[in-house]
Amino acid sequence: MTGQMVSLQMGLGMAMMYDPINGVSIPIIGQVFQILTSLMFLAMNGHLVVINVLVHSFETLPVAPIGAGMLDLNTLTHQMGWATGAALIIALPAITAMLLVNIAFGVMNRAAPQLNVFSLGFPMSMMAGVLVLMITISGIAGLYLELTGEALEALDILLRGG
């Protein structure tokens, strides 16, 4: 979600790439973020944690439960809201910087209407977007580890039953 938000702000919303694994078309920046987070997930041994959680989930939540331990709608909506908030936290610096660039071009267009903002604005917006992405990606590893830790704690609480 972060890559899609950032690429729309950069003007790369139309630069889509077909993802054969998921069967959808996603923006290029979204694909970069997806590969980056997948590599970080593997680097922090997340695949081993997922297998461990899967094994323990069969003990906590049996295959045919008798009404106990069911996932309620409130928990599901809370977790989806948390995931959207986490994506927004990662994307917010880039979105803010691109908003400031777009406001600057709007002021420039208003002050000097004879300048062609479309021919000047798109390359400058792309250059500013790449610069913001370089800064954003440099600090994403620590934030990703923190958010993944929170997600695993929430999953552990869910599997323990409360």
Among 6-15, 56-65, 95-104, the range scoring the smallest mean pLDDT is 56-65
Q: Residue 15 above 70 pLDDT?
A: no
Task: Compute the distance between CA of residue 84 and CA of residue 45 in angstroms, rounded to an integer.
Answer: 24
Nearest-CA neighbor of 133 among 1, 25, 2, 35? 2
Assigned token pair, 147: 């958010």
Spatial CB neighbours of 82, under 8 Å, sequence gap ≥ 6: 150, 151, 154
Q: Residue 141 above 60 pLDDT?
A: yes
Task: Compute the distance between CA of residue 71 and CA of residue 157 in angstroms, rounded to an integer.
Answer: 12
pLDDT grade for 19, boundaries at 50, 70 and 90: low
